[in-house]
Amino acid sequence: MYDLVIIGAGWAGFNAAQKAKELNLKVCLVDSHQIGGTCLNYGCIPTKALIACAKVFSLAKKAPNFGLELDNLRVNLSAIQARKNQVVLRLKQGMQSKLSGIEFINSPAEIISTQEVKINDRIVNAKYILIATGSQPVCLPELKFDEKKIISSDQALSLSEIPQSLLVVGGGVIGCEFAGLFSALGSQVTLAEKLPQLLPSEDRDVGRKIETVFKKKGIEVVVNADIAAFNPENYTKVLVCVGRLPNIHGLGLENAGVELKNNKIAVDDYLKSGRDNIYAAGDCTSKIMLAHYAAYQGITAVENMFLGNKKKADNLTIPACIFTEPQIASVGMKENEALACGLQIKVYKFDFRANAMAHIIDETEGFVKVIVNQETGLIIGASIIGPLATELIAVLAVAISAGLTVNKVKAIIFAHPTFSESIRESLN
């Protein structure tokens, strides 16, 4: 009998398995697809690898601004795809090297009972089961994926040609990243979002700023969009990015009496389902669909199964990063959220046009915005749009987690000239 069978080898399942290994448990990790899940194979890693190539291409086109001359600059998409695949392969090999002591089975899995899982043609017994099956792209009834003209983000990652024209349906994180990527590589991009702003879950000022920047780059942005007004035949490709749904079908959840709520696995604050020995973590719980949060959930679930002092998976100081150009990142409360909670707040803001390093590298678009509880002086939220935003946000995540006040952060000496000093400057 296994101490733990984990269904799903994405970021939640893999990190859960590593924690179980650390606790000297007998663990079986099973997945019908590749190790690394969506993040490594269809999400975080391949998209950022492609975006990095587009970034270099964009920088090369700016070479004259730095007194450099480059001739015959062009995009070789096959070479870009080869580099992306190599990055994914190296990281996958790294994950596989960490499987020592963990039985990994590449197979579908079906829960037969609260302590039995069917893997291939055998049934294994487990004291605990962790479901970490991730998510998949949502399709629209009027724009069903045909993997030719109408594609999901999965297919967009492996295109062999740059689309001459591209309609991106959905102005959330995935849609904005792909819109920026293909625009930089030469596509004529139209980005359609049904809500009044791009990135609806982000700060309003950030949404307005990225819309302005995208339009400067030649991207046609349509908010309050009616998708029926767009004819797919007018575009080389149509990329539908309207969200993701938990992977829950075919798992045999009904055999163990695992309940669903709004098409996701229902878990309590400790990540336990309605069955005492069945937990769930990551996108299949549909709480917050971020790889690093999934990892946190996976580790927490294992600790709650096997360690005596159970703890809630309630750490909501979760940085969210968007790899557009410029980058976007946020952590903690947005301005509108704080106001909706009735908090008295002070909003601090600093424009990168006043930062020396931004001028040195010729990337001055964007700002740092910090939300502070006026009564306590505590930093409770922040949003950044600009160069290295996805790295800078860690400073503010630490500040919020540590309960730092504005004065304590201002007392820190930040190096000059750097982007990080923009955080201190924003608090003046």
Residues 6+ positions from 203 with CB-CB distance below 8 Å: 330, 334, 335, 336, 369, 383
Q: Note whether 171 and 202 are within 8 A (CB).
A: no
Which of 33, 292, 359, 416 is labelled catalytic? Answer: 416
DSSP reduced 3-state for 56: helix
The reply to whether 249 belongs to the active site is no
Q: Note whether 178 and 238 are within 8 A (CB).
A: no
Report residue 199 CA to chain centroid gap.
Answer: 13
Q: What number of other Cβ atoms are within 10 A of residue 224's Cβ?
A: 10
DSSP conformation class of 399 = H
Q: How far is the C-alpha of 80 from the C-alpha of 294, rounded, in Å?
A: 29
Instruction: Choose among 18, 37, 39, 36: nearest CA to 27.
Output: 18
First to last CA, the chain: 60
In terms of DSSP bridges, do strands 264-265 and 260-261 run parallel, antiparallel, or are they unpaired? antiparallel
Q: How far is the C-alpha of 136 from the C-alpha of 42, rounded, in Å?
A: 10
DSSP notation for 249-290? TTS-HHHHT--EETTEE---TTSB-SSTTEEE-GGGGTS---
DSSP notation for 180-217? HHHHHHT-EEEEE-SSSSSSTTS-HHHHHHHHHHHHHT
Provide the sign of the torsion angle of the four alpha carbons 391, 138, 267, 301, taken in this order: negative
Tokens of 189: 């991009």
In terms of DSSP bridges, do strands 27-31 and 2-7 run parallel, antiparallel, or are they unpaired? parallel
Asked if omega into 64 is within 30° of 0 (cis), the reply is no
Compute the half-sphere exposure of residue 36: CA atoms within 13 Å on the CB side of its CA: 20
118: β partners: 110, 123
185: β partners: none
In terms of DSSP bridges, do strands 122-131 and 2-7 run parallel, antiparallel, or are they unpaired? parallel
Q: How far is the C-alpha of 234 from the C-alpha of 245, rounded, in Å?
A: 28
Residues with a catalytic annotation lie at 416
